[in-house]
Chain A
Amino acid sequence: MRVELTGRRKERENLLIQVARASGQNIAKCYQCGKCTAGCPVAVEMDIPPHQVMRLLQLGLKDEVLDSSAIWLCASCATCTARCPRDIDIAAVMDALRARAGREGRTRSAKTIALFHDIFLNAIQKHGRVFELGLAINYNLKTGNLFKDADLGRVYFTRGKIGLKAPKIKGGDEVRRIFQKVKQMEAGE
Chain B
Amino acid sequence: MPRIGVFVCWCGSNIGGVLDCPQLAREAASFPGVVYSVDYKYMCSEPGQNLIIEAIKEHRLDRVVVASCSPRLHEETFRKALARAGLNPYLLEMANLREHCSWVHAKEPEKAQVKAVDLVRRAVAKAALLQPLVSSQIPVTKRCLVIGGGIAGIQCALDIADAGHEVILVEREPTIGGNMVKLDKTFPTLDCSACISTPKMVAVASHPNIKLYTYAEVAEIGGYIGNFKVKIKQKARYVDHDKCTGCGTCWEKCPSKVPDDFNGGLGTRKAIYIPFPQAVPNKPVIDANHCRVFNNKKCRVCEKLCPTGAIDYEQQDTFIDEEVGAIVVATGYELFDWTKAYGEYGYGMYPDVITGLQFERLVNAAGPTGGKIKRPSDGKEPKTVVFVKCVGSRDEAKGKSYCSRVCCMYTAKHAHQLLEKVPDSQAYIFYMDVRTPGKGYEEFYQRTVQDGAIYVRGRVSKIYQSGDKLVVRGADTLLGRPVEVKADMVVLATAMQPAAGVETTARLVGAPVDQDGFIQEAHPKLRPVETHTAGVYVAGCCQGPKDIPDTVAQASGAAAKVVGLLSHSKMSTSAMISTVNEALCTGCMLCEPVCPYKAIEPKVITERLPGQPPRERTVAAVNSGLCQGCGCCNVACRPGAIQVKGFTNEQMLAEVDAICL
Contact = CB atoms under 8 A, between A and B. Distances in A.
Interface of A: 31-40, 43-44, 48-49, 51-52, 79, 83-87
Interface string B375-403: 00000000000000010001111100000
Interface in B474-501: 474-477, 480-483
Contacts of A36: 461
Given A33-B432, A33-B458, 7 more contacts: A35-B475, A37-B481, A38-B473, A43-B482, A44-B482, A49-B475, A85-B459
Contacts of B395: 85
B87 interface: no
Given A31-B432, A32-B477, A38 B462 contact: yes
A48 B482 CA distance: 12
A152 B432 CA distance: 46
Find the residue from B460, B474, B482 having the highest chain A CB count within 10 A: B482
B397 A38 contact: no
Q: Which 7 pairs, one residue from A and one from B, show the smallest C-beta to C-beta distance?
A: A39-B461, A34-B458, A38-B461, A34-B475, A38-B475, A34-B477, A35-B459
A102 B660 CA distance: 62
A119 B474 CA distance: 36
Interface string B462-473: 100000000001
Nearest to B394: A85
B314 interface: no
A41 to B, nearest CB: 10
A187 B460 CA distance: 43
B344 interface: yes
Nearest to B462: A39
B477 A86 contact: no
Contact of A33 (B398, B477, B482): B477
Contact of A86 (B344, B396, B476, B481): B396
Most A Cβ at <10 Å: residue of B459, B474, B480: B459
Contacts, number: 72
B432 A49 contact: no
A39 B458 CA distance: 11
Interface of B: 344, 390, 394-398, 432, 457-462, 473-477, 480-483
A49 B481 contact: yes
B455 to A, nearest CB: 13
B396 A85 contact: yes
A39 B461 CA distance: 5
B394 A34 contact: no
Contacts of B460: 35, 38
A162 B196 CA distance: 77
A52 B432 contact: no
A38 B474 contact: yes
A34 B460 CA distance: 8
A40 B475 CA distance: 10
B5 to A, nearest CB: 53
B344 A44 contact: no
Contacts of B461: 35-36, 38-39, 79, 83
B480 A38 contact: no
Nearest to A32: B477
Nearest to B395: A85
B432 A51 contact: no
B492 to A, nearest CB: 14
Contacts of A86: 396-397
A49 B396 contact: no
B344 A83 contact: yes
Contacts of B398: 85
Contacts of A83: 344, 397, 461
A34 B344 contact: no
A38 B481 CA distance: 8
A51 B483 CA distance: 14
Contacts of A52: 480
B88 to A, nearest CB: 56
Contacts of B475: 34-35, 37-38, 43, 49, 51
A90 B457 CA distance: 20
B433 to A, nearest CB: 9
B396 A38 contact: no
A122 to B, nearest CB: 35
Contacts of A85: 394-398, 459
